[in-house]
Amino acid sequence: MVRPLTERSANIAKVTVPLPPRFREAFRSLIEARSRTGGKRVFARDLHEEAIGSLVNQAERGEKVLFMATPVGVGRMTLWMDEGLKARVDGLALAHGVHRSAVVLTAFHHFLRHADLTDKADAA
């Protein structure tokens, strides 16, 4: 049976970025923890959008953001996000002269650090 199309699933953009394996593991752990304690299933897209949205909001408020360099030699990961958020990410990247992947990587690093998962998120 095909699931009905919702507004959220219709408003989606595909983004592919290089992502260190430790970031994936940290997000997987966080998804499991939030799904257990929140009473509602949490999906990767939810956390990815929360992380990226937080960084974009921070930059749009005028707060200084130091972007991380995109890692070389790591696998790429496909992310799904809201089209409006993707447009904001692209605008932020353009304004700061960085790639979209640097915005995403920086957002994930900050998010995971604040989720007390720095040891898994530290790709350096």
Q: What is the 3-class SS of 66-78, one letter each residue? A: CCCCCCCCCCEEE
Is 8 within a domain?
no
Q: pLDDT tens, 98-117?
A: 999 999 999 999 999 888 64
Is pLDDT above 80 for 75? yes
Rounded distance between C-alpha atoms, residue 118 and residue 113, angstroms: 4
Mean pLDDT of 20-43: 87
What's at 73, amino acid-wise? G
6 within domain boundaries: no
* pTM tops 0.75: yes
**Which residues sit opposite 17 in a β-bridge?**
77
Flag whether 3 is in a domain. no
Residue 43 lies in a domain: yes
Can you give the residue range of the structural domain that contains 77? 13-121
Q: Write down the pLDDT at residue 91.
A: 97
